[in-house]
């Protein structure tokens, strides 16, 4: 989804806010060939420890179905998969 705000079949929308990033995902209308969606974090040209702390929340109709906190300090990776659904 790198650099896009919407995917081809309009089931994933990306919005960047000053304090967070949001993805609106319409799983029920995914093409049958889609088996999973992975959430990852990258930091161009820098290790991800520059991000610091990260919070991932998955909602279903405003109800939290998954929450995780990630401490990215002292991490040397340039990309990290956070979860897959």
- Residue with structure tokens 């290790």? 47
pLDDT digits (tens, 9 = 90+) for 49-77: 878 888 888 888 888 888 899 998 888 88
Threshold 0.75, pTM exceeds: no
């Amino acid at each position: 989804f790198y650099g896009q705000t919407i995917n081809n079949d309009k089931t994933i929308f990306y919005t960047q806010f000053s304090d967070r990033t949001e993805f609106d995902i319409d799983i029920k209308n995914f093409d049958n060939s889609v088996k999973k969606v992975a959430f990852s974090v990258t930091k161009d040209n820098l290790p991800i420890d520059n991000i610091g702390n990260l919070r991932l929340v998955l909602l279903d109709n405003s109800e939290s179905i998954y929450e995780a906190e990630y401490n990215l300090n002292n991490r040397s990776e340039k990309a990290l998969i956070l979860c897959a659904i």
